[in-house]
Amino acid sequence: MGTTTIILIATAIVGFYMAWNIGANDTANSMASAVGAKALTLKQAVCIDGVFNLIGAVFVGTHVTNTVRKGIADPCLMGTPQVVMIAFFAAILGASLWVTIATWKGLPVSTTHAIVGAIMGVGMISGGMSAIQWGKIWGIVASWVISPIFSGILAYSVFKLISKTILQKDNPVLFAKRYSPYFIGVTFFIISLSFLLKTPLGKTLNISGSDGIFVALIFGALTGYIGYNLFIRNRKIQNVEQIFKILQIITSCYVGFAVGANDVANAVGPIAAVWNIAVTGEIAAKVPVPFLLLALGGIGIVIGTLTWGYKIIKTVGFKITELTNTRGFSIDFGAATSVLVASKLGCPVSTTHAVVGAVIGVGLARGLDAIDLRVIKNIAISWVITLPVAAGIAMLIFTLLR
């Protein structure tokens, strides 16, 4: 067995390990609010999340994978093909080790931060400062600020809308039944768009942008109508939170899908680069991402979700703010929408940032005292140290291997 084959196999194994880390640490992004609001049990949450992570990773994950693989460091400037393979192996292992430590400590860190920092680290050692695509790096850094603000504004707006149209009414249950089908329709409209626009599924079905919007509108209207029949005609529903419990389960699945779509790149992006070198013997500027790699990443995320996902759920679901189903729905909708928009643009945003931004947005809608700022501060510190720590670990591993 040659050296190239050994590095490829080792990178695939470590990539699977990174996917496991993503499932373990990022499960909280989709399911913590549902568990905290008691819409789902912990066991139900991790099982459901695993399914939607896999769907998002396989059908929508390609776009962000392209950015992570070749948008951070230029592999053509990093040395010989074998050096580049070792560099990406070191990057994914360094990022994985840091995320494992953070998960063990119950810290919801950004897996995107970790892999970006690690690739930057090995890129600077192997190719110098010129090997780093600084223009794209600054765009990614900007997204780390924009995504929590955008998701926070969305979550704030959604919760304010719920408060004004439902919670503040004399008969909130009546108005909740009246308006909840619209929330369902909009949610499924966006989910449908994420399946159909610029995805392998959309290309297979040969669906254009306008056709995708039309199909998504029909699907949104259909699910809204189903929601109308479930809620308006259901006399057993007696309170608003009971209605939004159902909606929150839907939006939690929606976030799980978004996590799989956006974060699978953190695991399979470096593998794609190594795989291409192993197959062709050359360093290419653009590399196709095999379907099997997306599936490998998705399966790894599922296993991580089922085994260690509970650790971060306990932090995000119970320690940041008190959650109800209406608040949880607003958080999930704001976070998932911002992450999916970023995924379609090919920008690897931090899902963790988006969720925390949405939590803050909902908290601000109720007053600043509704948020435990000490927990937010600790999470923010973990974000700041993630990039340099992951970079340092990856640089050390690469130096030892080289």
Q: CB neighbours of 134 closer than 8 A, spacing ≥ 6?
A: none
pLDDT band at 201; cut points 50, 70, 90: low
Side-chain-facing half-sphere of 83: CA atoms under 13 Å: 15
pLDDT at position 255: 79
DSSP letter string over 341-378?
HHHHTT----HHHHHHHHHHHHHHHH-GGGB-HHHHHH
3-state DSSP call for residue 279? helix
Write the DSSP symbol of residue 321.
B
Whether residue 354 has pLDDT greater than 90: no
Joined tokens for residue 348: 């690897």
Contacts of 301 (CB under 8 A, 6+ apart): 19, 20, 22, 23, 26, 50, 53, 54, 57, 259, 260, 263, 264, 267
pLDDT (tens digit, 9 = 90+) per residue, 295-315?
888 899 889 988 998 888 887
> What's the whole-number mean pLDDT along residues 35-48?
88
pLDDT at residue 63 is higher than 70: no
Average pLDDT over residues 250-273: 82
Residue 70 has pLDDT above 60, yes or no: no
- At 393 the pLDDT is 97
**Least confident piece of the model among 27-36, 37-46, 176-185, 311-320:** 311-320
Greater confidence, 198 or 190?
190
Which letter, b or e, does each residue of 155-194 get, where b requires 16 or more Cβ atoms within 10 Å of its Cβ?
A: bbebbbebbeebeeeeebbebbbbbbbebbbbbbbbbbbb
Between 188 and 339, residue with greater pLDDT: 188
212's CB contacts (< 8 A; 6+ apart) are 192, 193, 196, 197, 202
Question: By C-alpha distance, which of 234, 221, 254 is closest to 177?
Answer: 234
Of the candidates 52, 44, 31, the residue with the CA atom closest to the CA atom of residue 257 = 52
**Comparing 61 with 272, which gets the higher pLDDT?**
272
pLDDT of residue 233: 72
Range among 8-17, 43-52, 248-257 rated most confident: 8-17
pLDDT for position 200: 63
pLDDT at 312: 87
